[in-house]
Structure 1
Amino acid sequence: MNKEDCFYLGKIVKKYSFKGELILKLDTDEPEIYENLNVIFLDLGKNLVPYFIEKSLFQKGNHLRIQFEDVYSEADAEVLLKRDAYLPLNLLPKLKGNKFYFHEVTGFILEDVHYGKVGVIDSINDVSAQALFVVKTDEGEIFIPMVDDFIEDIDRKNKKITVRTPEGLIDMNKA
């Protein structure tokens, strides 16, 4: 399994017991939909390796206690600590309306209701306090804040996002 075909689910953050159980901290707004997984893929360096789940139980918040098949000791569990967990993209729940996954909108055309076509979404910058659309234009690259109030429509069929940005934002970005 390649990372490009998967989405980040979370990270193994600690051991739970001397029997090899581990705690997976889920990186999701809806952790309950991942309660009954059969397998997850752990990043073991160059490869994503499948680990089959024998049993799992929700803990407080977004923590999932997991017992993997063939991981029955503290030593076995130690090897898996701090590993990133992934699932295939086809297991992502479908979103509707103006909700979207960041990877989903790469390549979409970004259009402003006043300005017209701005450019093509190249990526999402989510390392700052406010996530930003990184948009390739004929002149270069501009950044549009991903603010719910700005997003008017997401047209998945035509791969287009329509925004209503404050007057001057796009021109200021181009300067």
Structure 2
Amino acid sequence: MEPEKLHSIGRITKLHGIKGAVILRGSGELSSLLKGQKVVFVEFDGYPVPFFPEETEFLSDDTAIVRFRDIGSPVKNEELPGREVFLLRQKVRRKKELTFHDLIGYAFVDKRTGQTGNVTGVVDYEMNPLLQVNNGNVEFLVPFAEPVIQRIDHKNRIIEADLPEGLADINENAQDE
């Protein structure tokens, strides 16, 4: 399944209890995204593997305890903490406003240097969110701020940016190493 057909809803942070449940932490809309879902996907070795939520308890809008069907012990869940969880993009009930996590999978182009890559993650600092961009050789962080991000084309899933001179130099030097 292609990554552009998936929507990241969060990450499994740790195991919970003796019945094989896990703690899932996501954005502030996790509860609305996860309610009623019959299948989620957990990434293993770059591939989405289906898991079937049997029981979900929401601790807050961004945290849930989830127990998956056919997994009744913590031993079977040992490899889950730290893994990202996805829904099929078509199953995501869209609000009018997108979240930063919706930008994962978008192509990234720096108009000034021509540097390209793909958005692989988001570091969601409250006052200064950062996009994680991987260009195949190196991963770098880009401030998600108006002077840097010039245009977002949601239809073609492309982010056009104008990286500040110092940041572009750091990224180019990291790529050369």
TM range (shorter): 0.5 to 0.7
Count of residue pairs the alignment pairs up = 159
Query: Aligned runs of 1:86-101 on 2, under 5 Å?
Result: 86-92=86-92, 93=94, 101=103
**C-alpha distance after superposition, 1:37-95 (max 9, x if no partner):** 22122356686432222221101463312233333x4xx34211341233334445477
Equivalent residues of 2:3, 2:105 under 8 A apart: no
**C-alpha distance after superposition, 1:106-159 (max 9, x if no partner):** 1x5433xxxxx54252134769998467597xxxx9x78323132243233466
TM-score (norm 2): 0.58
Equivalent residues of 2:31, 2:60 under 8 A apart: no
In structure 1, what is the Cα distance between the partners aligned to 2:55 and 2:2?
25
Identity over aligned pairs, percent: 17
Do structure 1's residue 54 and structure 2's residue 54 form an aligned pair?
A: yes
Equivalent residues of 1:152, 1:162 under 8 A apart: yes
Matched residue, 1:119: 114
Matched residue, 1:11: 12
1:79 is paired with a residue whose SS is helix
TM-score (norm 1): 0.58
1:49 is paired with a residue whose SS is strand
Matched residue, 1:103: 105
Matched residue, 2:152: 154
Matched residue, 2:142: 145
- Pick the structure with greater CA Rg: 1
The 3 A distance-change label for structure 1 pair 163 and 12 is: closer
Matched residue, 2:76: 79
In structure 1, what is the Cα distance between the partners aligned to 2:114 and 2:32?
35
In structure 1, what is the Cα distance between the partners aligned to 2:163 and 2:12?
36
The residue type equivalent to 2:38 in the other structure is N
The residue type equivalent to 1:154 in the other structure is I
Matched residue, 1:40: 40
The residue type equivalent to 2:142 in the other structure is P
2:114 is paired with a residue whose SS is strand
In structure 1, what is the Cα distance between the partners aligned to 2:133 and 2:45?
29
Matched residue, 1:24: 23
Q: Report the alpha carbon displacement of residue 22 of structure 1 after superposing the two structures with TM.
A: 0.8
